[in-house]
């Protein structure tokens, strides 16, 4: 595999994401009449812009938070908060995007939820809302037990990538559907490939490339946080065990935030495997 450094890759991905947002905005502004809140097709135009911005670009950024090397050591809580806030932001934009299309349909007397695009799109949003709620419950609420976090984490990771791919599929099908609906007459027929179709087709491809690159980055082993969930990584080293023994804490109820406050234990945690420290993938204490 190509040895691409993570940060330049992220800069490229960020540029690509911004390009997708700029292009969907340009499409709606230049060819589809711009934006309004009056229930007309200009209200509909908020739908693609908010969906691409929220459920693809912002969601993709949220998914990649834990690939930033700075998140691999030190307290994990701020990164968890960043991850869940970006996902929440993505969710809010998504809901606004759905409100726009439902308002448009209702004010035009168009039936709701008849197309494959709408079924897949709504399914994706429902999955995303479950994913956010379950992630919040398991990873941010302090009383969630460690075993539950460890059990749920691979499921959360799997659905993270799945939801992104479903979002991309929803966007591509939505773009296609919009072009079929809009480009019907004379020289503007879709099959004659007018400039708008070239532009929107290109947008669809760029969204697809963005999604594939995010999923590839998530899957790349060397960009993953050192394994925090192997059974070994949850076994305390002698120094940590001594600390636990002294403080009366149990292995099973150890919480990172409390233990990491102690400078001595922190320094042991900071010397993870890559830093020539303790064996077994070690960060599990801190990071589950």
With contacts defined by CB under 6 A, how many residues of the chain interact with ligand HEM? Answer: 26
Give the list of residues 6+ apart from residue 121 with CB closer than 8 angstroms, or none.
Answer: 51, 170, 173, 174
Closest alpha carbon to 116 in 49, 41, 34, 173: 173
Cβ atoms of residues 49 and 21 within 8 Å: yes
175 near ligand HEM, judged by CB under 6 A: yes
Span 5-34, contacts to ligand HEM by CB under 6 A: none
HSE-up of residue 227 (Cα within 13 Å, Cβ side): 11
To 10 degrees, what angle do helices 77-108 and 116-135 make?
150
82 near ligand HEM, judged by CB under 6 A: no
153 near ligand HEM, judged by CB under 6 A: no
| Closest CB 51 distance from ligand HEM, rounded Å | 3
Q: Residues in the chain, how many?
A: 288
Sign of CA dihedral 216, 222, 223, 226: positive
Among 85, 115, 247, 267, binds ligand HEM (CB under 6 A): 115
CB nearer to ligand HEM: give 146 or 201.
Answer: 201
101 near ligand HEM, judged by CB under 6 A: yes
**Residues 47-66: x where in contact with ligand HEM by CB under 6 A, - otherwise, as a string:** xx--xx--x-----------
Sign of CA dihedral 204, 85, 281, 70: positive
| Closest CB 50 distance from ligand HEM, rounded Å | 9
- Residues of this chain that bind ligand HEM (CB under 6 A): 47-48, 51-52, 55, 98, 101-102, 105, 112-113, 115, 117-118, 121-122, 124-125, 167, 170-171, 174-175, 177-178, 181
């Amino acid at each position: 595999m190509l040895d691409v450094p993570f940060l330049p890759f992220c800069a490229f991905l960020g540029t690509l994401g911004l390009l997708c947002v700029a292009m969907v905005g340009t499409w709606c502004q230049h060819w589809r009449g711009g934006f309004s809140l009056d229930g007309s097709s200009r209200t509909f135009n908020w739908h693609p812009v908010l969906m691409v911005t929220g459920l693809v670009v912002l969601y993709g950024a949220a998914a990649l938070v834990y690939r930033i090397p700075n998140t691999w050591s030190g307290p994990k809580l701020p990164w968890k908060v960043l991850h869940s806030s970006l996902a929440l932001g993505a969710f809010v934009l998504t809901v606004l995007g759905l409100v726009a299309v439902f308002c448009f349909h209702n004010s035009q007397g168009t039936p709701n939820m008849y197309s494959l695009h709408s079924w897949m799109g709504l399914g994706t949003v429902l999955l995303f809302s479950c994913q956010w709620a379950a992630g919040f419950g398991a990873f941010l609420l302090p009383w969630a037990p460690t075993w539950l976090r460890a059990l749920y984490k691979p499921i959360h990771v799997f659905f993270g990538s799945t939801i992104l791919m479903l979002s991309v599929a929803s966007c591509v099908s939505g773009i296609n559907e919009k072009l079929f609906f809009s480009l019907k007459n004379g020289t503007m027929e879709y099959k004659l490939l007018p400039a708008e179709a070239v532009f929107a087709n290109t947008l669809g491809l760029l969204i697809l490339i963005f999604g594939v690159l995010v999923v590839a980055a998530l899957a790349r082993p060397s960009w993953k946080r050192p394994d925090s969930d192997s059974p070994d990584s949850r076994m305390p080293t002698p120094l940590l065990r001594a600390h636990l023994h002294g403080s009366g804490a149990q292995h099973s109820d150890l919480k990172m935030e409390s233990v990491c406050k102690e400078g001595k234990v922190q320094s042991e945690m900071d010397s993870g495997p890559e830093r020539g420290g303790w064996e077994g993938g070690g960060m599990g204490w801190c990071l589950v």
